[in-house]
Amino acid sequence: MPSLKKIAVVGVGLIGASLAAAFKKYLGNVKVLAVDQDAEVIKKAEKLEIIDRGYTEIAANLNEAEVVFIAVPVAKIGTVVKELADDSLKNQLIVDAGSTKKAVMLEAREFLKNTSQRFIGGHPMAGSHKSGIDWHQADLFVDAPFILTPVIENPAGKDLNHNQSEAEFLSSLSSGEKEDLEILKDIVEKIGAKSYLMSAESHDRRTAFVSHLPHLLSSGLVNLIAQQQNRSNFLELAGSGFADMTRIAGGSAELWQDIILSNRENIVKALTEYQEILEEIKITLESDEQQGLYTFLARAAEIKEN
């Protein structure tokens, strides 16, 4: 595997700054370049020494980077890919860090079809409801899943899971695609994360349940309390459970709007299934079915414990 000399990050917010810091900490002598439209953010990143050189525009500034990580809101990833394609003639590997994958990869495929650049979808399952460079952490990705999506649809027509080994998944890829994946897996694992391979469609279906639906539920609970008269009377009784349930509702509305809209079909399915569960428990309570309530709670507790 070739050793990397320069790696770049586009977007120096929480995730981008944390990636840059992790690269500086764990990738040895690799030079880290960065682009952010905010000149003050670039100055801060250079002062913190989490990047070696920063710019406020892509232009040809990232041509020497062998790998470019895009860490901007989902709706803006395509624009960045197009800029990279327009301003580079280099054989370059591009990976994003967005929370949805299919729409992003379809755009990337279109913009890069006449270039020698390659694109693999990426999604580090780490972060915070806080945003911006001031909250970055070099160890943000330690022990966190880092999903890599080299294909939009699984060629085998099924998810990569316990019934399909990674070797089977990789067998349908070209030697160049496998080499690119090995480069990214090496980077991901060196910064402490755990790499997972799957198709973009599989990623979007799964994250609808474990990431996007929870955010909507958290926001829904906050909005429900806000609708109550004398809501301060409710909040003064709130403990750690309420804090845990509502923490992620404090995330950027602009960021989450883009994420949710780009995966709306899968999220609607998840919401529909969740509504069915809520309706079932509502009927159980209305009927005063104690055993049904106990079974519902006990099953969830056992699953959570395991």
* Secondary structure class of 194 (helix, strand, coil): strand
Domain segments of the chain as ranges: 6-200, 204-305
Interval 191-225: pLDDT, tens:
999 999 989 999 999 999 999 999 999 999 999 99
DSSP 113: T
- Total Cβ atoms within 10 A of residue 168: 14
Architecture of domain 6-200: 3-Layer(aba) Sandwich (3.40)
pTM recorded for the entire structure: 0.87
CATH homologous superfamily of 204-305 equals 6-phosphogluconate dehydrogenase C-terminal like domain (1.10.3660.10)
Say which range, 37-46, 64-73, 223-232, 266-275, has the weakest mean pLDDT: 223-232
DSSP 209: I
**Neighbouring-strand partners of residue 149:** 121
List the structure tokens of 128. 């915070």
